[in-house]
Amino acid sequence: MKRLRVLLVDDHKVVRQGIAHLLQLDEGIEVVGEAETGQDALAEADLKRPDVVLMDIRIPGMDGVEATRRLKKAFPDMDIIMLTSYADEYVPEAIEAGASGYLLKSVDYNELSQAIRAVHAGETVFDRSLGREFLGRFADLAHKSKEATLSEREMDILRLLASGTSGGEIAAQLSMTSTALKRHLRHIFNKLGVENRAHAIAEAYRRKLL
């Protein structure tokens, strides 16, 4: 089983160590790197290519929101969860920057592990303490944000799907594994609000993406 690769970004070493220790208990997750600043996060992400980044907001220099924005621009398929001590103050900025989740550092181990898997599968996660009305409002914002940001790779896949290219041929042409293709398709379906390839093509034409 492929382990999910996680990068931890927090300016407090003890926090990073604590999170890393908890995540080591999950055989399906591997912490591949740590960073103290936003600039370090960009460099470490480029080097380690994690699947998911756990990003603190208040870090030295470039803050976590700006680091998230730059990471999503450089690596559109990288999923980012804001992991912070601040309840709802930065949620709109974080979501608009491209974050797929917003959790408080008080989150328990099981919730954190589940959240990492959820965002990797194309879902959006929020800390339950934020409240039902709040969650509904910003889940909708996150959905709209994701809708507008199909990556170049996802658009390549959509174009090939629309041309009638098979899954195997798409994977070969784009030099990716079938597992990676399936993950990209999950992201595409989630962003377009559809459940299968045919509906994805139809929705892409409706939105004039193709």
- Positive/negative CA dihedral, 125, 130, 131, 133: negative
* Count of structural domains, the chain: 2
Average pLDDT over residues 163-171: 87
Same domain, 66 and 131: yes
CATH number at residue 122: 3.40.50.2300
Same domain, 172 and 79: no
Same domain, 201 and 110: no
Q: What pLDDT is stored for residue 133 in this prediction?
A: 44
Q: What are phi and psi of 168, to 5 degrees?
A: -65, -40
The residue behind tokens 């931890």 is 8
Is 201's pLDDT higher than 70?
A: yes
Domain that holds residue 189: 152-206
> What is the band of 136 on the pLDDT scale with cuts at 50, 70, 90?
low
Q: What pLDDT is stored for residue 178 in this prediction?
A: 87
Same domain, 76 and 176: no
CATH number at residue 188: 1.10.10.10
Range of lowest pLDDT (21-35, 109-123, 140-154): 140-154
Strand order in the sheet with 125-126: 29-35, 4-9, 52-55, 79-84, 101-104, 125-126
> What is the band of 100 on the pLDDT scale with cuts at 50, 70, 90?
confident
Same domain, 109 and 9: yes
Question: Among the three residues 147, 171, 191, which one is the final residue of a domain in this structure?
Answer: 147
Q: Which residue has the higher pLDDT, 3 or 91?
A: 3
Q: What pLDDT is stored for residue 121 in this prediction?
A: 83
Same domain, 57 and 137: yes
Over residues 33-63, the pLDDT tens digits come to 999 999 999 999 999 999 999 999 999 989 9
Same domain, 45 and 81: yes
Nearest alpha-carbon partner for 158 in 172, 149, 169, 170: 170
Same domain, 86 and 67: yes
Same domain, 112 and 190: no
Same domain, 193 and 119: no
Same domain, 16 and 114: yes
Q: If you average pLDDT over each of 38-52, 70-84, 155-169, which comes out highest? A: 38-52
Is 80's pLDDT higher than 90?
A: yes
> What is the band of 143 on the pLDDT scale with cuts at 50, 70, 90?
low
Question: Among the three residues 147, 163, 198, which one is the final residue of a domain in this structure?
Answer: 147
Question: Among the three residues 131, 147, 163, which one is the final residue of a domain in this structure?
Answer: 147
Average pLDDT over residues 150-156: 86
Q: What pLDDT is stored for residue 163 in this prediction?
A: 84
Q: What pLDDT is stored for residue 82 in this prediction?
A: 92
Same domain, 50 and 143: yes
> What is the band of 131 on the pLDDT scale with cuts at 50, 70, 90?
low
